[in-house]
Structure 1
Amino acid sequence: MKRGLIMNKLDNVATVLDDVAAGETVTIRGLPSIVEISTLEEIPRGHKIALVDIPVGMDVVKYGFPIGYALTDILKGSYVHVHNVGSKRTEE
């Protein structure tokens, strides 16, 4: 079983606790209910997975706070990292 952890009920991403291959199921814990998500691509341990579809421009939320915004449409189960997340801090 591949594992993931969500930190806050407002989060739209979770952290995977194991290396995950495309097509594997990740069991996300940290909320009252357990969520299972199939990955669309490989995600390294310690990196983020999208819990929902995140449209371009929408905030990426972790720990209950925006940590960036989607540079492209990010589909549920996708790898969320610097290739598809921008930072408002670096653009100011």
Structure 2
Amino acid sequence: MIHLVLHDKHDMVAVAVVEGVTAGMDLTAWIMDEDELIQTKALQDIPIGHKIALTDMAVGDTVVKYGVDIGKVVAPIKKGEHAHVHNIKTKRW
């Protein structure tokens, strides 16, 4: 079963595409551009449509999704944690 989707193997986050992703679950993510599967574990509940970190990120790091810069980290994020507006902000303002 595919739980997460990302576009590029360099993406730092993936999107939950199923309901019910809970802390402790082993997850399968599909890398669309390479048509490959990778595995990760959820450290927190991840709502459908929200992002999960695929790597540890520190404050100030650039977040890559869809192969492009989508913002900066404003609070530390561990691999497997929920990545959303509470820890990622746009660089626009």
Matches within 5 A, 1:11-50: 11-19=11-19, 20-30=21-31, 31-50=34-53
- Relative to its length, the structure with more helix (as a share) is 1
In structure 1, list runs of 5 or more residues that go unmatched.
none
Q: TM-score, normalised by structure 1?
A: 0.89
In structure 2, list runs of 5 or more residues that go unmatched.
none
Alignment-mate amino acid for residue 27 of structure 2: V
| Structure 1 residue 2, shift from structure 2 partner | 5.6
Give 4+ residue runs of structure 1 displaced > 2 Å after superposition: none
Please name the residue that 1:59 is paired with: 62
**Residues matched between the structures, number:** 90
Root-mean-square deviation (Å): 1.4
In the alignment, is the contact (CA less than 8 A) between 2:75 and 2:86 conserved in 1? no
Q: Percent identity?
A: 41
| Structure 1 residue 10, shift from structure 2 partner | 2.0
2 CA distance for matches of 1:36 and 1:16?
Answer: 13
